[in-house]
Chains A and B, each alone.
Chain A
Amino acid sequence: MTTQPVRFYQVGSFAVGNRLLDDDGRTVQSDPNRTNSLDSGHRACQGCGEALGARYALDAAMRASQGRLVAVNATGCLEVFSTPYPETSWRIPWLHSLFGNAPAVATGVAAAMKAKGRPDVRVVAQAGDGGTVDIGFGCLSGMFERNDDVLFICYDNEAYMNTGVQRSGATPPAARTATTEAIGSVAGNPFGQGKDLPRIAMAHDVPYVATATVADLHDLEEKVERAMQVHGARYLHILVPCPLGWGSASSDTIRVARLAKETGLFPVFEAVDGKVTGVSPIRHRTPVEEYLSIQGRYAHLFGEHPRTDIISRIQAMADRNIATYGLLAEALADTDPKGVDV
């Protein structure tokens, strides 16, 4: 790995833009001519992480495809808040079919473009965690297995938010949802459940898999860009906090996402052909309490009778991730250049 001297640019590439950076060092979002794939007037809650993630990802995809893009959306918050008749907030070609079939519908769109001799028109399929890891799982696996030319993006807010915050296969342990309440000794969602979709995607040996959060825009856009350079089945898993469902302040959305990464609970990495090829290192390692304590869905772990046992288990999960993926910068020096077998 070659190193490059970094010229100091005040906020460097941490901020969305930077007047001291050349245009190509700034994000797509800093460009006043960005597509605004998801435009104003949608009905997302104040501070919605998914609305942010969707615009981030799709604007980047639109740039990467020079505006030749079609989006297929599963049922869920993103679809509902963006297209209530008579208003749509989408500025790009967009199709909503059902809850569980976004990957398959996208396959169809991609096939159509290929049959019509228009391989320049790229296809993105997007769904929430429910539409990806649960009801959409069958279609997703089929799309992966066939290596259809679709970039699938999962906006993970860790529950079925649109229907009232019910547990999904992506809900983390100890989180309170409407179907995993914290009552008595039951402390929310059980440990030992849940699907690790990025690893499942990798197990399908698809060309590109990556995770990202809305707190690191540069990283997210680079991953979209990299994904769009490739053809075949690609998977992007973006953590998008939901102030309503997570019980966090609407102004904290990005901060919560940042903490998810900095604690190690949400590893940010990318994988090519089934092997991890890079991680986004933790900048300031943070104990999980800082992340958990600002979310109402974990409120039952604190207070008069804190569940330190559960918090320890969650910390252990974070520590395991840090070790497994090598998330601390020092560990990177030892990374096998051929990739880490996860």
Chain B
Amino acid sequence: MLRQIEGSRAVAETVALCRPEVVCAYPISPQTHIIEAIGAMVASGALAPCEFINVESEFAAMSVSIGASAAGARAYTATASQGLLFMIEAVYNAAGLGLPIVMTLANRAIGAPINIWNDHSDAMAVRDSGWIQLFAETNQEAADLHVQAFRLAEELSLPVMVCMDGFILTHAVERVDLPEQPQVDAYLPPYEPRQVLEPDDPVSIGAMVGPEAFEEVRYLAHLRQLDALERIPAMATEFEEVFGRPSGALVSPYRTEDAEIVVIALGSVLGTIKDAVDARREAGDRVGVLGITAFRPFPSDAVREALSRARSVVVVEKAFSIGFGGVLSTDVAMATHDTGCTLRTIVCGLGGRPITRRSLEEAFAAAAQDELDSLTFLDLDHEIVERERTRMTTTRRSGPSAENILRDIGTVASRMD
């Protein structure tokens, strides 16, 4: 059913249709509207049977989900940024135990400095954890990916996180075609756990595994994620059959058939990128876009296939590995190292900095001319950087550079002295 609806709300209502049995979360911007909406549905009885638990921290939220999932219940939670880090021990634990928990990650920057706006640093912090990570480009995709996430998680016994850009998607009101309950029921069967806490058939879950078997456990988990590379496209096909629209899949190519330059990115920025690419196409550049939907497992083959006719790849990403380089770029580089493509990284949108179509167009134009640096921080204010660098070399005492920069920009606090 078509609705003009806030992204958070769309996700909440879709998740509810997936019949979760235990939902818990700790509030953190920008995830709060998702959880509030689900809480209201439980309270009204619209979502039943479901236990909605107000936990005391994100660590507890993931832990409650672990317990619920191990006991055979379909478990769901949501978080972002700091909250994800607070629960990170449990995030790894859930994947290690093979529990099919689904979590919405409302992507948000990680502090310090504290910042509530969108970037992908939080998702990147857990890319090695063993979770399947799916990135939504639109609110429609965000909603649809959750349905597929539950099915994928339960088939493979792996937890799945659906990443959607905080505020940009979560708080945007858009047109979304929400699924109907019978459709979801047809697509997503009830949860049948492969291992469960059951008094009639007791087992011990969570043993200590030593050097003699640990490697095998990890390898098996890896193989299961690789299985996802086949399951995801198959499930996407099935999704289309049931719901009547394409959704999911590992990657979403746009005008890549004859592209010399392929721009790769995750999440909502793809919309802006496609507009910029259309503009460059007008100008004669053979540019294409490859949106990566499944970030983990990394769809190396699909990426390589999309780049088979390109000579250059530009990775536009909202994350950065301090002291090294782009994060997505590293993955892309690894997947394409022998394709002969050059790789350029554009880091943008950190901490929610708006990514403008014009800036992207300029960057793509430069790329077409081979004039794009290997690493670009889009729209960086070089003056601020210079001033701060100068201050550091002249002043012996160090301090949080953030405060200094704020002063430069001219915030209220700076006027106090």
| Residues of chain A at the chain B interface (Cβ within 8 Å) | 67-70, 72-73, 79-80, 82-86, 88, 90-98, 100-101, 104-117, 121, 138-139, 141-142, 145-146, 148
Contacts and interface: CB of A to CB of B under 8 A. Distances in A.
Interface string B178-202: 0000000000000000000111001
B16 to A, nearest CB: 14
B50 A85 contact: no
A101 B63 contact: yes
A115 B50 contact: yes
B56 A96 contact: no
A112 B68 contact: yes
A290 B51 CA distance: 51
23 contacts: A70-B197, A85-B210, A86-B213, A88-B207, A92-B199, A96-B205, A97-B97, A98-B93, A100-B59, A104-B55, A104-B60, A107-B67, A108-B24, A108-B64, A109-B71, A111-B24, A112-B51, A112-B69, A114-B51, A115-B51, A116-B71, A138-B59, A139-B63
B2 interface: no
B412 interface: no
B67 A98 contact: no
Contact of A109 (B24, B49, B68, B206): B68
B109 interface: no
A156 to B, nearest CB: 22
Given A90-B204, A145-B56, 11 more contacts: A85-B213, A90-B202, A95-B204, A97-B66, A98-B63, A105-B64, A109-B67, A112-B68, A115-B68, A116-B21, A142-B55
B89 interface: yes
B203 interface: yes
Given A104-B55, A117-B49, A95 B206 contact: yes
A85 B89 contact: no
Contact of A112 (B55, B56, B57, B72): B72
Contact of A105 (B63, B198, B213): B63
Contacts of A100: 59, 89
B366 interface: no
B73 interface: yes
B204 A94 contact: yes
Nearest to B53: A111
Given A84-B207, A138-B56, A138-B57, A108 B69 contact: yes
Interface string B10-29: 00000000000110100000
Given A108-B64, A108-B65, A142-B60, A98 B209 contact: no
B56 A141 contact: yes
Contacts, number: 167
B90 A83 contact: no
A146 B54 contact: yes
B208 interface: yes
A73 B66 CA distance: 13
A70 B199 contact: yes
What interface size band does chain B fall in?
Answer: 35 or more
B72 A101 contact: no
A111 B49 CA distance: 11
B206 A96 contact: yes
Interface of B: 21-22, 24, 49-51, 53-57, 59-61, 63-73, 75, 89-90, 93, 97, 197-199, 202-210, 212-213
B59 A92 contact: no
Contacts of A112: 21-22, 51, 67-69, 71-73, 75
B78 to A, nearest CB: 15
B56 A109 contact: no
A338 B54 CA distance: 33
A100 B55 CA distance: 14
Given A83-B204, A115-B73, A139 B60 contact: yes
A308 B93 CA distance: 49
Contact of B59 (A72, A101, A110): A101
Contacts of B49: 115-117
Nearest to A87: B207
Contacts of A96: 204-207
7 interchain residue pairs of minimum CB distance: A108-B67, A142-B56, A96-B206, A112-B73, A104-B63, A101-B63, A112-B71
A101 B93 CA distance: 11
Contacts of B210: 84-85
B60 A97 contact: no
A276 B207 CA distance: 38
Given A109-B70, A111-B73, A142-B56, A104 B202 contact: no
B68 A97 contact: no
Contacts of A95: 67, 70, 197, 204-206
A327 B84 CA distance: 48
A139 B59 CA distance: 8
B206 A108 contact: no
A83 to B, nearest CB: 4
B207 A83 contact: yes
A108 B205 contact: no
Contacts of A98: 63, 89-90, 93
A261 B199 CA distance: 35
Nearest to B48: A115
A88 B66 CA distance: 20
Given A93-B198, A116-B73, A139-B63, A79 B208 contact: yes
A115 B65 CA distance: 13
Contacts of A139: 56-57, 59-60, 63
Nearest to A120: B199
Contacts of A110: 67
A128 to B, nearest CB: 15
Nearest to A145: B56
Contacts of B71: 70, 108-109, 112-113, 116
B51 A111 contact: yes
Most chain A CB atoms below 10 A, which of B51, B53, B204, B212: B204
Contacts of A113: 71
A209 B407 CA distance: 54
B57 to A, nearest CB: 6
Contacts of A84: 207-208, 210
Contacts of A109: 67-68, 70-71, 197
Nearest to A121: B199
Nearest to A73: B206
Contact of A83 (B60, B64, B208): B208
Contacts of B72: 112, 116
A160 B404 CA distance: 44
B197 A115 contact: no
Contacts of B64: 104-105, 107-108, 111
